[in-house]
Structure 1
Protein backbone atom coordinates (compact mmCIF):
# COMPACT_ATOMS: atom_id res chain seq x y z
CA UNK A 1 0.00 0.00 0.00
CA UNK A 2 2.85 2.35 0.91
CA UNK A 3 4.43 1.77 -2.52
CA UNK A 4 1.09 2.50 -4.22
CA UNK A 5 0.82 5.76 -2.27
CA UNK A 6 4.32 6.79 -3.39
CA UNK A 7 3.53 5.98 -7.05
CA UNK A 8 0.26 7.90 -6.82
CA UNK A 9 2.00 10.94 -5.32
CA UNK A 10 4.68 10.81 -8.01
CA UNK A 11 2.07 10.75 -10.78
CA UNK A 12 0.29 13.73 -9.25
CA UNK A 13 3.57 15.64 -9.04
CA UNK A 14 4.38 14.94 -12.70
CA UNK A 15 0.88 15.96 -13.81
CA UNK A 16 1.01 19.20 -11.84
CA UNK A 17 4.44 20.01 -13.31
CA UNK A 18 3.14 19.40 -16.84
CA UNK A 19 0.12 21.60 -16.14
CA UNK A 20 2.37 24.40 -14.93
CA UNK A 21 4.57 24.12 -18.02
CA UNK A 22 1.55 24.20 -20.34
CA UNK A 23 0.12 27.19 -18.49
CA UNK A 24 3.43 28.99 -18.80
CA UNK A 25 3.48 28.32 -22.55
CA UNK A 26 -0.08 29.49 -22.86
CA UNK A 27 0.82 32.76 -21.19
CA UNK A 28 3.99 33.29 -23.17
CA UNK A 29 4.18 36.24 -25.54
CA UNK A 30 7.10 34.90 -27.56
CA UNK A 31 7.12 34.60 -31.33
CA UNK A 32 4.51 32.21 -32.59
CA UNK A 33 3.36 31.46 -29.00
CA UNK A 34 0.91 32.70 -26.54
CA UNK A 35 -2.69 32.78 -25.55
CA UNK A 36 -2.24 35.73 -23.28
CA UNK A 37 -5.14 38.18 -23.25
CA UNK A 38 -4.62 40.74 -25.98
CA UNK A 39 -3.33 44.07 -24.74
CA UNK A 40 -2.85 46.89 -27.24
CA UNK A 41 0.16 49.17 -27.05
CA UNK A 42 -1.94 51.95 -25.54
CA UNK A 43 -3.07 49.65 -22.73
CA UNK A 44 0.42 48.37 -22.03
CA UNK A 45 1.64 51.99 -21.90
CA UNK A 46 -0.99 53.22 -19.46
CA UNK A 47 -1.09 50.07 -17.33
CA UNK A 48 2.58 49.13 -17.13
CA UNK A 49 4.88 51.63 -18.83
CA UNK A 50 3.51 55.05 -17.97
CA UNK A 51 6.96 56.05 -16.78
CA UNK A 52 7.85 56.50 -20.48
CA UNK A 53 5.74 59.67 -20.57
CA UNK A 54 5.40 60.83 -16.96
CA UNK A 55 6.94 64.27 -16.35
CA UNK A 56 7.10 64.94 -20.09
CA UNK A 57 5.05 67.10 -22.44
CA UNK A 58 3.27 64.72 -24.78
CA UNK A 59 2.27 65.26 -28.39
CA UNK A 60 -0.14 62.68 -29.79
CA UNK A 61 -0.50 61.59 -33.42
CA UNK A 62 -3.77 59.73 -33.70
CA UNK A 63 -7.20 59.39 -35.30
CA UNK A 64 -10.47 57.62 -34.39
CA UNK A 65 -8.69 54.23 -34.36
CA UNK A 66 -6.65 55.33 -31.35
CA UNK A 67 -8.86 53.52 -28.84
CA UNK A 68 -8.44 50.86 -26.19
CA UNK A 69 -10.34 47.55 -26.14
CA UNK A 70 -13.33 49.28 -24.55
CA UNK A 71 -13.35 51.86 -27.36
CA UNK A 72 -12.18 54.68 -25.10
CA UNK A 73 -10.25 57.29 -27.08
CA UNK A 74 -6.55 57.63 -26.27
CA UNK A 75 -7.07 61.40 -26.55
CA UNK A 76 -9.53 61.30 -23.67
CA UNK A 77 -7.53 58.79 -21.63
CA UNK A 78 -4.37 60.87 -21.80
CA UNK A 79 -6.16 64.20 -21.36
CA UNK A 80 -7.99 62.97 -18.25
CA UNK A 81 -4.97 61.23 -16.70
CA UNK A 82 -3.50 63.38 -13.89
CA UNK A 83 -0.08 61.79 -14.47
CA UNK A 84 0.09 62.81 -18.14
CA UNK A 85 0.62 66.27 -19.64
CA UNK A 86 -0.93 66.13 -23.11
CA UNK A 87 -0.02 69.34 -24.93
CA UNK A 88 -0.78 68.87 -28.66
CA UNK A 89 -2.62 66.68 -31.16
CA UNK A 90 -1.54 65.84 -34.71
CA UNK A 91 -3.86 64.48 -37.37
CA UNK A 92 -2.98 62.31 -40.40
CA UNK A 93 -5.01 62.14 -43.61
CA UNK A 94 -8.73 62.33 -42.70
CA UNK A 95 -7.93 64.18 -39.45
CA UNK A 96 -7.86 63.37 -35.74
CA UNK A 97 -11.62 62.84 -35.71
CA UNK A 98 -11.67 61.07 -39.12
CA UNK A 99 -14.19 63.37 -40.77
CA UNK A 100 -12.19 64.44 -43.83
CA UNK A 101 -12.42 62.65 -47.17
CA UNK A 102 -9.38 61.25 -49.00
CA UNK A 103 -7.14 64.03 -50.26
CA UNK A 104 -8.92 66.76 -48.26
CA UNK A 105 -6.62 69.22 -46.47
CA UNK A 106 -7.36 69.66 -42.78
CA UNK A 107 -6.20 73.02 -41.41
CA UNK A 108 -4.99 73.88 -37.90
CA UNK A 109 -7.78 74.09 -35.35
CA UNK A 110 -8.54 73.70 -31.63
CA UNK A 111 -10.07 70.42 -30.48
CA UNK A 112 -13.47 71.18 -28.95
CA UNK A 113 -13.33 68.41 -26.35
CA UNK A 114 -9.86 69.04 -24.93
CA UNK A 115 -9.06 72.60 -26.00
CA UNK A 116 -5.75 71.33 -27.38
CA UNK A 117 -4.15 72.59 -30.60
CA UNK A 118 -4.55 70.18 -33.53
CA UNK A 119 -1.92 70.27 -36.27
CA UNK A 120 -2.48 68.69 -39.67
CA UNK A 121 0.13 66.27 -40.98
CA UNK A 122 -1.57 65.97 -44.34
CA UNK A 123 -1.59 68.42 -47.22
CA UNK A 124 0.73 71.39 -46.99
CA UNK A 125 2.63 70.08 -43.94
CA UNK A 126 3.24 66.34 -43.79
CA UNK A 127 6.21 66.63 -41.49
CA UNK A 128 5.89 68.42 -38.13
CA UNK A 129 7.74 71.73 -38.15
CA UNK A 130 9.93 72.88 -35.23
CA UNK A 131 7.15 75.32 -34.30
CA UNK A 132 4.64 72.45 -34.06
CA UNK A 133 6.96 70.64 -31.65
CA UNK A 134 7.93 73.57 -29.40
CA UNK A 135 5.69 72.47 -26.54
CA UNK A 136 6.47 68.75 -26.82
CA UNK A 137 9.12 66.44 -25.32
CA UNK A 138 7.84 63.14 -26.69
CA UNK A 139 5.65 62.20 -29.67
CA UNK A 140 3.24 59.27 -29.36
CA UNK A 141 1.94 57.52 -32.46
CA UNK A 142 -1.26 55.48 -32.06
CA UNK A 143 -3.05 54.74 -35.35
CA UNK A 144 -4.44 51.52 -36.80
CA UNK A 145 -2.76 50.60 -40.08
CA UNK A 146 -4.28 48.24 -42.67
CA UNK A 147 -1.18 46.34 -43.79
CA UNK A 148 -0.78 47.83 -47.27
CA UNK A 149 2.16 49.88 -48.58
CA UNK A 150 0.08 52.68 -50.09
CA UNK A 151 -1.93 53.49 -46.96
CA UNK A 152 -0.57 56.89 -45.93
CA UNK A 153 -0.53 56.60 -42.13
CA UNK A 154 2.78 54.74 -42.04
CA UNK A 155 4.45 57.63 -43.90
CA UNK A 156 2.90 60.14 -41.51
CA UNK A 157 4.65 58.08 -38.83
CA UNK A 158 7.95 58.09 -40.74
CA UNK A 159 7.89 61.87 -41.37
CA UNK A 160 7.10 62.47 -37.70
CA UNK A 161 10.01 60.22 -36.73
CA UNK A 162 12.28 62.33 -38.94
CA UNK A 163 11.01 65.51 -37.27
CA UNK A 164 11.53 63.98 -33.83
CA UNK A 165 15.12 63.05 -34.71
CA UNK A 166 15.85 66.51 -36.10
CA UNK A 167 14.37 68.32 -33.11
CA UNK A 168 15.64 66.14 -30.27
CA UNK A 169 12.27 64.64 -29.34
CA UNK A 170 11.57 61.09 -28.23
CA UNK A 171 9.25 59.01 -30.39
CA UNK A 172 7.00 56.23 -29.09
CA UNK A 173 4.89 53.90 -31.24
CA UNK A 174 1.97 52.21 -29.50
CA UNK A 175 1.70 48.99 -31.46
CA UNK A 176 -1.48 47.59 -32.99
CA UNK A 177 -2.34 44.45 -34.99
CA UNK A 178 -1.83 44.13 -38.71
CA UNK A 179 -5.44 43.36 -39.78
CA UNK A 180 -4.15 41.02 -42.51
CA UNK A 181 -2.02 38.97 -40.14
CA UNK A 182 1.74 38.93 -39.95
CA UNK A 183 2.86 36.06 -42.14
CA UNK A 184 2.06 36.81 -45.77
CA UNK A 185 4.28 39.16 -47.75
CA UNK A 186 3.12 39.83 -51.32
CA UNK A 187 3.63 42.02 -54.35
CA UNK A 188 6.46 43.99 -55.92
CA UNK A 189 8.89 45.97 -53.79
CA UNK A 190 8.65 49.68 -54.57
CA UNK A 191 11.37 51.12 -56.82
CA UNK A 192 12.66 54.40 -55.35
CA UNK A 193 12.00 56.32 -58.58
CA UNK A 194 8.29 55.83 -57.89
CA UNK A 195 8.34 56.92 -54.26
CA UNK A 196 5.48 59.16 -53.14
CA UNK A 197 3.17 59.66 -50.17
CA UNK A 198 1.41 56.44 -51.25
CA UNK A 199 4.70 54.55 -51.11
CA UNK A 200 7.76 56.21 -49.66
CA UNK A 201 10.07 53.25 -49.01
CA UNK A 202 11.08 50.07 -50.89
CA UNK A 203 8.71 47.64 -49.21
CA UNK A 204 6.19 45.29 -50.88
CA UNK A 205 2.49 46.01 -51.31
CA UNK A 206 1.57 43.61 -48.50
CA UNK A 207 4.34 43.88 -45.94
CA UNK A 208 3.01 41.64 -43.16
CA UNK A 209 4.30 43.90 -40.37
CA UNK A 210 2.81 45.90 -37.51
CA UNK A 211 3.35 49.67 -37.31
CA UNK A 212 5.86 49.10 -34.51
CA UNK A 213 7.84 46.68 -36.63
CA UNK A 214 7.73 49.05 -39.60
CA UNK A 215 8.91 51.92 -37.39
CA UNK A 216 11.96 49.90 -36.37
CA UNK A 217 12.68 48.94 -39.99
CA UNK A 218 12.26 52.53 -41.25
CA UNK A 219 14.41 53.88 -38.45
CA UNK A 220 17.33 51.53 -39.08
CA UNK A 221 17.23 50.62 -42.77
CA UNK A 222 16.49 54.14 -43.98
CA UNK A 223 18.61 55.87 -41.34
CA UNK A 224 15.98 58.08 -39.75
CA UNK A 225 17.83 57.90 -36.46
CA UNK A 226 14.93 58.68 -34.13
CA UNK A 227 15.07 58.02 -30.38
CA UNK A 228 12.47 55.29 -30.90
CA UNK A 229 10.57 53.12 -28.43
CA UNK A 230 7.94 50.60 -29.49
CA UNK A 231 5.42 49.70 -26.81
CA UNK A 232 4.65 46.14 -27.80
CA UNK A 233 1.29 44.43 -27.67
CA UNK A 234 0.73 41.41 -25.49
CA UNK A 235 -1.15 38.35 -26.73
CA UNK A 236 -0.99 39.03 -30.47
CA UNK A 237 0.57 36.52 -32.84
CA UNK A 238 1.25 36.56 -36.56
CA UNK A 239 -1.52 34.09 -37.40
CA UNK A 240 -4.21 36.54 -36.37
CA UNK A 241 -6.37 38.42 -38.82
CA UNK A 242 -8.22 41.29 -37.19
CA UNK A 243 -11.37 39.25 -36.52
CA UNK A 244 -9.24 36.76 -34.57
CA UNK A 245 -8.37 39.48 -32.05
CA UNK A 246 -12.00 39.94 -30.96
CA UNK A 247 -11.41 43.70 -31.11
CA UNK A 248 -14.05 45.97 -32.58
CA UNK A 249 -13.04 47.27 -36.01
CA UNK A 250 -12.97 51.06 -35.98
CA UNK A 251 -12.84 52.34 -39.54
CA UNK A 252 -9.35 53.84 -40.10
CA UNK A 253 -10.64 56.12 -42.88
CA UNK A 254 -14.01 56.96 -44.50
CA UNK A 255 -13.55 54.40 -47.29
CA UNK A 256 -12.16 51.62 -45.08
CA UNK A 257 -15.35 50.67 -43.19
CA UNK A 258 -14.75 46.97 -42.50
CA UNK A 259 -12.15 44.23 -42.26
CA UNK A 260 -13.50 42.91 -45.57
CA UNK A 261 -12.47 46.23 -47.15
CA UNK A 262 -8.97 45.91 -45.73
CA UNK A 263 -8.65 42.35 -47.04
CA UNK A 264 -9.34 43.32 -50.67
CA UNK A 265 -7.60 46.70 -50.48
CA UNK A 266 -3.98 45.69 -51.36
CA UNK A 267 -5.10 44.69 -54.86
CA UNK A 268 -8.44 46.38 -55.42
CA UNK A 269 -6.98 49.82 -54.72
CA UNK A 270 -4.87 49.49 -57.86
CA UNK A 271 -8.09 50.42 -59.67
CA UNK A 272 -7.54 53.95 -58.32
CA UNK A 273 -4.82 54.26 -60.94
CA UNK A 274 -7.35 53.80 -63.75
CA UNK A 275 -10.57 55.39 -65.05
CA UNK A 276 -12.65 52.62 -63.44
CA UNK A 277 -14.45 53.21 -60.14
CA UNK A 278 -13.05 51.45 -57.08
CA UNK A 279 -16.40 51.85 -55.37
CA UNK A 280 -15.76 55.10 -53.52
CA UNK A 281 -19.10 56.68 -52.77
CA UNK A 282 -20.82 53.31 -52.28
CA UNK A 283 -21.44 51.16 -49.22
CA UNK A 284 -18.76 48.72 -50.43
CA UNK A 285 -15.65 50.72 -51.38
CA UNK A 286 -12.93 48.56 -52.98
CA UNK A 287 -15.34 45.62 -53.05
CA UNK A 288 -17.35 47.19 -55.89
CA UNK A 289 -15.36 47.65 -59.12
CA UNK A 290 -16.93 49.02 -62.29
CA UNK A 291 -17.57 51.69 -64.89
CA UNK A 292 -20.41 52.72 -67.24
CA UNK A 293 -18.71 50.95 -70.16
CA UNK A 294 -18.43 47.53 -68.46
CA UNK A 295 -20.79 44.61 -69.08
CA UNK A 296 -21.14 43.23 -65.59
CA UNK A 297 -22.24 39.71 -66.56
CA UNK A 298 -19.40 39.21 -69.03
CA UNK A 299 -16.83 40.78 -66.72
CA UNK A 300 -17.85 38.61 -63.74
CA UNK A 301 -17.77 35.49 -65.93
CA UNK A 302 -14.27 36.32 -67.22
CA UNK A 303 -12.92 36.81 -63.69
CA UNK A 304 -14.58 33.68 -62.29
CA UNK A 305 -13.14 31.67 -65.17
CA UNK A 306 -9.65 32.46 -63.81
CA UNK A 307 -10.53 30.36 -60.73
CA UNK A 308 -8.47 32.56 -58.41
CA UNK A 309 -7.97 31.23 -54.85
CA UNK A 310 -10.34 32.31 -52.09
CA UNK A 311 -12.53 34.64 -54.15
CA UNK A 312 -15.70 34.80 -56.25
CA UNK A 313 -17.01 37.65 -58.36
CA UNK A 314 -20.68 38.65 -58.55
CA UNK A 315 -22.04 40.79 -61.38
CA UNK A 316 -23.12 44.09 -59.81
CA UNK A 317 -24.22 47.60 -60.71
CA UNK A 318 -23.87 50.70 -58.54
CA UNK A 319 -23.97 54.50 -58.69
CA UNK A 320 -21.10 56.21 -56.85
CA UNK A 321 -22.07 59.31 -54.88
CA UNK A 322 -18.54 60.76 -55.05
CA UNK A 323 -15.29 60.33 -56.97
CA UNK A 324 -15.11 58.63 -60.38
CA UNK A 325 -18.41 58.27 -62.28
CA UNK A 326 -20.23 60.11 -59.49
CA UNK A 327 -23.98 60.03 -60.10
CA UNK A 328 -23.59 57.69 -63.08
CA UNK A 329 -24.79 54.08 -63.13
CA UNK A 330 -21.73 51.84 -63.34
CA UNK A 331 -21.48 48.12 -64.00
CA UNK A 332 -18.91 45.61 -62.84
CA UNK A 333 -18.44 43.18 -59.98
CA UNK A 334 -18.47 42.83 -56.24
CA UNK A 335 -15.45 40.98 -54.87
CA UNK A 336 -16.54 38.25 -52.46
CA UNK A 337 -13.63 36.79 -50.48
CA UNK A 338 -14.64 33.24 -49.59
CA UNK A 339 -11.40 32.28 -47.84
CA UNK A 340 -9.26 35.20 -46.73
CA UNK A 341 -6.29 32.99 -45.83
CA UNK A 342 -6.18 31.52 -49.35
CA UNK A 343 -6.99 34.83 -51.04
CA UNK A 344 -4.16 36.62 -52.86
CA UNK A 345 -5.15 40.30 -53.07
CA UNK A 346 -2.33 41.57 -55.31
CA UNK A 347 -2.65 38.73 -57.81
CA UNK A 348 -6.42 39.28 -57.82
CA UNK A 349 -6.10 43.04 -58.26
CA UNK A 350 -3.74 42.69 -61.20
CA UNK A 351 -6.06 40.17 -62.87
CA UNK A 352 -8.93 42.65 -62.48
CA UNK A 353 -6.90 45.45 -64.07
CA UNK A 354 -5.59 43.22 -66.87
CA UNK A 355 -9.07 41.82 -67.63
CA UNK A 356 -10.55 45.33 -67.84
CA UNK A 357 -7.71 46.40 -70.11
CA UNK A 358 -8.13 43.38 -72.39
CA UNK A 359 -11.95 43.39 -72.53
CA UNK A 360 -12.44 47.15 -73.01
CA UNK A 361 -9.40 48.42 -74.94
CA UNK A 362 -11.29 51.40 -76.37
CA UNK A 363 -12.61 52.63 -73.03
CA UNK A 364 -10.25 51.50 -70.27
CA UNK A 365 -7.43 53.90 -69.42
CA UNK A 366 -4.65 54.21 -66.89
CA UNK A 367 -4.47 57.60 -65.18
CA UNK A 368 -2.47 60.13 -67.20
CA UNK A 369 1.29 60.33 -66.82
CA UNK A 370 2.91 63.32 -65.14
CA UNK A 371 5.83 65.29 -66.57
CA UNK A 372 8.21 62.50 -65.50
CA UNK A 373 6.20 59.87 -67.37
CA UNK A 374 4.78 58.35 -64.17
CA UNK A 375 1.11 57.43 -63.84
CA UNK A 376 -0.66 57.26 -60.49
CA UNK A 377 -0.99 53.52 -61.18
CA UNK A 378 2.83 53.36 -61.23
CA UNK A 379 2.98 55.06 -57.82
CA UNK A 380 0.52 52.53 -56.43
CA UNK A 381 2.16 49.41 -57.85
CA UNK A 382 5.62 50.86 -57.17
CA UNK A 383 7.16 50.66 -60.64
CA UNK A 384 6.55 51.46 -64.31
CA UNK A 385 7.12 48.05 -65.86
CA UNK A 386 3.89 46.39 -64.68
CA UNK A 387 1.73 48.94 -66.51
CA UNK A 388 3.80 48.28 -69.63
CA UNK A 389 3.47 44.52 -69.11
CA UNK A 390 -0.32 44.81 -68.97
CA UNK A 391 -0.35 46.95 -72.10
CA UNK A 392 1.91 44.41 -73.84
CA UNK A 393 -0.33 41.46 -72.98
CA UNK A 394 1.97 39.73 -70.50
CA UNK A 395 0.47 37.32 -67.98
CA UNK A 396 0.12 38.09 -64.27
CA UNK A 397 2.11 34.91 -63.60
CA UNK A 398 5.06 36.32 -65.55
CA UNK A 399 4.82 39.60 -63.63
CA UNK A 400 4.96 37.72 -60.33
CA UNK A 401 8.11 35.90 -61.46
CA UNK A 402 9.79 39.24 -62.19
CA UNK A 403 9.27 40.68 -58.71
CA UNK A 404 10.06 37.45 -56.81
CA UNK A 405 13.78 38.14 -56.30
CA UNK A 406 13.30 41.59 -54.71
CA UNK A 407 10.50 40.21 -52.55
CA UNK A 408 12.75 37.45 -51.20
CA UNK A 409 15.47 40.00 -50.42
CA UNK A 410 12.98 42.14 -48.49
CA UNK A 411 11.81 39.12 -46.51
CA UNK A 412 15.39 38.55 -45.33
CA UNK A 413 15.69 42.15 -44.11
CA UNK A 414 12.21 42.04 -42.57
CA UNK A 415 13.13 39.14 -40.26
CA UNK A 416 15.43 41.37 -38.22
CA UNK A 417 12.55 43.64 -37.22
CA UNK A 418 9.78 41.20 -36.36
CA UNK A 419 8.69 41.56 -32.74
CA UNK A 420 6.04 38.86 -32.50
Structure 2
Protein backbone atom coordinates (compact mmCIF):
# COMPACT_ATOMS: atom_id res chain seq x y z
CA UNK A 1 0.00 0.00 0.00
CA UNK A 2 2.71 2.47 1.01
CA UNK A 3 4.23 2.57 -2.47
CA UNK A 4 0.91 3.86 -3.86
CA UNK A 5 0.96 7.00 -1.72
CA UNK A 6 3.45 9.06 -3.74
CA UNK A 7 0.55 11.34 -4.64
CA UNK A 8 0.48 12.43 -0.98
CA UNK A 9 4.05 13.78 -0.97
CA UNK A 10 2.84 17.34 -1.61
CA UNK A 11 0.42 17.32 1.34
CA UNK A 12 1.45 18.08 4.92
CA UNK A 13 -1.96 18.25 6.64
CA UNK A 14 -3.74 14.99 5.91
CA UNK A 15 -7.06 13.76 7.26
CA UNK A 16 -8.16 10.13 7.39
CA UNK A 17 -11.58 8.50 7.68
CA UNK A 18 -10.83 4.90 8.62
CA UNK A 19 -11.36 1.94 10.90
CA UNK A 20 -9.37 -1.21 11.68
CA UNK A 21 -9.56 -2.35 8.03
CA UNK A 22 -7.10 0.43 7.16
CA UNK A 23 -4.16 -1.90 7.56
CA UNK A 24 -1.14 -2.58 5.36
CA UNK A 25 -0.09 -6.21 5.78
CA UNK A 26 3.21 -5.66 3.96
CA UNK A 27 4.17 -3.04 6.57
CA UNK A 28 2.32 -4.67 9.49
CA UNK A 29 0.96 -1.24 10.35
CA UNK A 30 -2.24 0.74 10.25
CA UNK A 31 -2.39 3.65 7.82
CA UNK A 32 -2.60 5.90 10.90
CA UNK A 33 0.95 4.82 11.73
CA UNK A 34 2.27 4.95 8.17
CA UNK A 35 1.16 8.55 7.59
CA UNK A 36 3.12 9.69 10.65
CA UNK A 37 3.41 13.40 11.35
CA UNK A 38 1.54 14.41 8.19
CA UNK A 39 -1.64 12.93 9.64
CA UNK A 40 -3.48 15.70 11.46
CA UNK A 41 -7.01 14.39 11.98
CA UNK A 42 -8.48 10.89 12.09
CA UNK A 43 -12.25 10.87 11.64
CA UNK A 44 -13.53 7.85 13.56
CA UNK A 45 -16.75 6.15 12.36
CA UNK A 46 -19.66 4.73 14.32
CA UNK A 47 -18.50 1.84 16.55
CA UNK A 48 -14.98 3.33 16.97
CA UNK A 49 -11.74 2.67 15.11
CA UNK A 50 -11.56 -0.96 16.24
CA UNK A 51 -15.35 -1.53 16.15
CA UNK A 52 -15.18 -1.70 19.93
CA UNK A 53 -18.33 0.35 20.59
CA UNK A 54 -21.93 -0.82 20.57
CA UNK A 55 -24.26 0.96 18.12
CA UNK A 56 -25.63 4.29 19.36
CA UNK A 57 -22.68 4.70 21.75
CA UNK A 58 -20.58 7.82 21.25
CA UNK A 59 -16.82 7.93 21.37
CA UNK A 60 -16.09 10.23 24.29
CA UNK A 61 -12.43 9.40 24.76
CA UNK A 62 -10.02 8.54 21.96
CA UNK A 63 -6.87 8.38 24.09
CA UNK A 64 -6.38 4.66 23.36
CA UNK A 65 -5.89 5.48 19.67
CA UNK A 66 -2.96 7.78 20.52
CA UNK A 67 -0.76 4.67 20.70
CA UNK A 68 -1.05 4.42 16.91
CA UNK A 69 -0.25 8.07 16.21
CA UNK A 70 0.22 10.43 19.16
CA UNK A 71 0.34 13.54 16.94
CA UNK A 72 -3.08 13.10 15.34
CA UNK A 73 -6.36 14.47 16.61
CA UNK A 74 -9.19 11.94 16.75
CA UNK A 75 -12.68 13.20 15.88
CA UNK A 76 -15.75 10.98 16.09
CA UNK A 77 -18.28 11.53 13.33
CA UNK A 78 -20.87 9.70 15.39
CA UNK A 79 -22.75 11.62 18.03
CA UNK A 80 -19.94 13.39 19.87
CA UNK A 81 -21.10 16.91 18.97
CA UNK A 82 -24.77 17.89 18.93
CA UNK A 83 -24.19 20.33 16.05
CA UNK A 84 -22.30 17.86 13.87
CA UNK A 85 -23.60 14.48 15.01
CA UNK A 86 -23.17 12.00 12.16
CA UNK A 87 -21.36 14.69 10.14
CA UNK A 88 -17.81 15.80 9.46
CA UNK A 89 -17.34 19.22 11.12
CA UNK A 90 -16.62 21.69 8.28
CA UNK A 91 -14.14 23.65 10.39
CA UNK A 92 -12.08 20.46 10.84
CA UNK A 93 -12.12 19.76 7.10
CA UNK A 94 -10.82 23.29 6.48
CA UNK A 95 -7.71 22.47 8.53
CA UNK A 96 -6.68 19.83 5.99
CA UNK A 97 -4.95 19.79 2.61
CA UNK A 98 -6.46 16.42 1.65
CA UNK A 99 -8.54 13.58 3.06
CA UNK A 100 -8.08 9.83 2.65
CA UNK A 101 -10.99 7.42 2.98
CA UNK A 102 -9.81 3.91 3.84
CA UNK A 103 -12.66 1.93 5.28
CA UNK A 104 -13.66 -1.45 3.92
CA UNK A 105 -17.35 -1.99 3.46
CA UNK A 106 -19.29 -5.20 2.86
CA UNK A 107 -21.79 -3.67 0.47
CA UNK A 108 -24.91 -3.65 2.64
CA UNK A 109 -26.72 -0.31 2.89
CA UNK A 110 -27.42 -0.41 6.64
CA UNK A 111 -23.70 -0.31 7.42
CA UNK A 112 -23.21 3.35 8.32
CA UNK A 113 -19.79 3.81 6.71
CA UNK A 114 -21.31 4.61 3.32
CA UNK A 115 -23.76 7.07 4.85
CA UNK A 116 -20.84 8.80 6.58
CA UNK A 117 -19.05 9.09 3.23
CA UNK A 118 -22.26 10.45 1.66
CA UNK A 119 -22.51 13.04 4.46
CA UNK A 120 -18.85 13.94 3.91
CA UNK A 121 -19.43 14.83 0.27
CA UNK A 122 -22.64 16.63 1.20
CA UNK A 123 -20.72 18.71 3.77
CA UNK A 124 -17.99 19.54 1.24
CA UNK A 125 -20.60 20.64 -1.31
CA UNK A 126 -22.80 22.66 1.06
CA UNK A 127 -19.82 24.49 2.58
CA UNK A 128 -18.03 24.90 -0.79
CA UNK A 129 -14.90 23.21 0.55
CA UNK A 130 -12.51 22.21 -2.23
CA UNK A 131 -10.68 19.35 -0.55
CA UNK A 132 -8.95 16.59 -2.52
CA UNK A 133 -10.35 13.24 -1.39
CA UNK A 134 -8.46 10.00 -2.04
CA UNK A 135 -10.16 6.61 -1.69
CA UNK A 136 -8.24 3.44 -0.89
CA UNK A 137 -10.19 0.92 -2.93
CA UNK A 138 -10.34 -2.39 -1.09
CA UNK A 139 -12.39 -5.25 -2.52
CA UNK A 140 -15.90 -5.77 -1.24
CA UNK A 141 -16.30 -9.36 0.05
CA UNK A 142 -19.77 -9.37 -1.57
CA UNK A 143 -18.56 -7.84 -4.84
CA UNK A 144 -21.05 -8.30 -7.64
CA UNK A 145 -23.84 -9.46 -5.33
CA UNK A 146 -26.84 -7.17 -5.73
CA UNK A 147 -30.10 -7.85 -3.90
CA UNK A 148 -33.21 -5.90 -3.01
CA UNK A 149 -34.76 -2.75 -4.36
CA UNK A 150 -33.20 0.72 -4.14
CA UNK A 151 -34.14 2.61 -0.97
CA UNK A 152 -36.78 5.23 -1.73
CA UNK A 153 -35.99 8.87 -0.93
CA UNK A 154 -38.66 9.17 1.78
CA UNK A 155 -37.05 6.32 3.76
CA UNK A 156 -33.45 7.52 3.73
CA UNK A 157 -31.66 7.79 7.08
CA UNK A 158 -28.27 7.28 8.69
CA UNK A 159 -28.69 3.57 8.05
CA UNK A 160 -29.62 3.92 4.40
CA UNK A 161 -28.67 6.23 1.54
CA UNK A 162 -31.52 6.73 -0.95
CA UNK A 163 -30.98 4.86 -4.19
CA UNK A 164 -28.87 2.02 -2.81
CA UNK A 165 -30.34 -1.49 -2.91
CA UNK A 166 -30.15 -3.61 0.25
CA UNK A 167 -27.02 -5.36 -0.98
CA UNK A 168 -25.19 -3.25 -3.59
CA UNK A 169 -22.06 -5.29 -4.32
CA UNK A 170 -19.77 -2.34 -5.08
CA UNK A 171 -16.36 -1.46 -3.71
CA UNK A 172 -16.02 1.76 -1.73
CA UNK A 173 -14.45 3.53 -4.72
CA UNK A 174 -17.38 2.57 -6.96
CA UNK A 175 -19.87 3.76 -4.34
CA UNK A 176 -17.98 7.07 -4.01
CA UNK A 177 -18.18 7.55 -7.79
CA UNK A 178 -21.93 6.90 -7.60
CA UNK A 179 -22.37 9.27 -4.64
CA UNK A 180 -20.48 12.07 -6.39
CA UNK A 181 -22.79 11.73 -9.41
CA UNK A 182 -25.81 11.78 -7.10
* TM-score bracket relative to the smaller structure: 0.7 to 0.9
The equivalent of 1:64 in structure 2 is: 20
User: Structure 1 residues 117, 48: CA separation in 2 closer, same or farther (over 3 Å shift)?
Assistant: closer
Whole-angstrom distance in 2 between the partners of 1:200 and 1:93: 16
User: CA shift at 1:109, angstroms?
Assistant: 4.1
Q: Residue 130 of structure 2 aligns with which residue?
A: 168
Query: How far did 1:120 drift?
Result: 0.7
Cα shift at 1:100: 1.1
The residue number in structure 2 matching 1:137 is: 97
| 1:77 aligned to which of 34, 55, 62 | 34
Rounded to whole Å, the distance in 2 between the matches of 1:54 and 1:163 is: 26
Asked if residue 147 in structure 1 is aligned to residue 99 in structure 2, the reply is no
Question: How far apart, CA to CA, are the structure 2 residues paired with 1:54 and 1:217?
Answer: 28
| Contact 1:108–1:118 (CA under 8 A) maintained in structure 2 | no
Task: Give secondary structure in 2 for the equivalent of 1:61.
Answer: strand
Provide closer, same or farther for how the CA distance between residues 108 and 167 of structure 1 changes in structure 2, counting only shifts above 3 A.
farther
> Which protein shows a greater Rg?
1
Task: Give the number of the structure with larger relative contact order, counting CA–CA contacts within 8 Å between residues 6 or more apart.
Answer: 2
1:32-74 alpha-carbon deviations (Å, 9 max, x no partner): xxxxxxxxxxx1xx313422x2221100011111112345211
TM-score (norm 1): 0.39
Task: Give matches, 1:11-410, under 5 Å.
Answer: 43=1, 46-51=2-7, 53-56=8-11, 57-70=13-26, 71-79=28-36, 85-107=38-60, 109-110=62-63, 111-113=65-67, 114-115=69-70, 116-123=72-79, 124=82, 125-165=85-125, 166-182=128-144, 184-220=145-181, 222=182
- Could you list the runs of 5+ residues in structure 1 that have no partner in the other structure? 1-42, 223-420
- Aligned residue pairs total 171
Cα distance, 1:154 vs structure 2 = 0.7
- How far residue 169 of structure 1 moved from its aligned partner, in angstroms, is 1.0
User: Where does the alignment leave 5 or more consecutive residues of structure 2 unmatched?
Assistant: none
When normalised by structure 2's length, the TM-score is: 0.86
Q: State the Cα RMSD in Å.
A: 1.8
For residue 160 of structure 1, give the secondary structure of its aligned residue in structure 2.
helix
- Report deviation, 1:134: 3.3
Q: Residues 109, 72 of structure 1: CA spacing in aligned structure 2 closer, same or farther, 3 A cutoff?
A: closer
Q: Check the 8 A contact 1:108/1:117 in 2, yes or no.
A: no
* CA distance in 1 between partners of 2:94 and 2:170 (Å): 32
